[in-house]
Amino acid sequence: MVEVTVTPQSSLADRPVKLQVRGLSPSQPVTLRASLTDEHGERFQARAFFRANEAGEVDPEHHAALGGSYAGVWPMGLFWFLQPDTLFRRLVKRDVAGSPFLVLLEVFDGFHLVTGPQDQPLASCKAERWYMGPGVQRVPIREGRVRGALFLPP
């Protein structure tokens, strides 16, 4: 049985996570896809093509992506290379305190540049990416023409 995991499942957006796929056939070609929908309903995606090792595993921290949104060894590549489905959109988190971005991670059999509704993932999981840690206080700054936010630790 194929399984994709992200550890930790819930983390701050600037912290690395470990992504692993297990239960594949040796040398099986797969596509890993990360996707999220932002607060405006815009979808962002990244995909990477891998070939499972002799144990039937894929670990982006140790295995090079063969193509897709990036190539080479990028442990956080699926998060860093998220691109909008609609051109000229930017991934911006507006509500940093109230909710995380939910990133859907999926693994598909074979190499897929595009996945349609008929393509069912072999496995999937979700990762929560928070932009503000517990107990952090956000103080809005408005001084003359300066606008910003000060984040104070607990």
Q: Compute the residue count for the chain.
A: 154
Residues 77-98 have a mean pLDDT of 92
Phi-psi region of 51 (alpha: psi -120 to 50; beta: other; left: phi over 0): beta
Residue 13 has pLDDT above 80, yes or no: yes
- Contact (Cβ atoms closer than 8 angstroms) between residue 65 and residue 74: yes
CATH number at residue 14: 2.60.40.2240
Alpha-carbon distances, residue 3 vs 47, 57, 66, 101 (angstroms): 17, 10, 21, 22
Percent of the chain with pLDDT over 90: 88
Q: How many domains does the chain have?
A: 1
Residue-wise pLDDT for 102-126, tens only, equals: 999 999 999 988 877 778 999 999 9
Q: What pLDDT, in 10s, does the model give residues 46-58?
A: 999 999 999 999 9
- Taking a C-beta distance cutoff of 8 angstroms, is the pair 60, 17 a contact? no
Instruction: Let me know how many helices (H) and strands (E) the chain has, helices first.
Output: 1, 11
Range of the domain at 148: 3-152
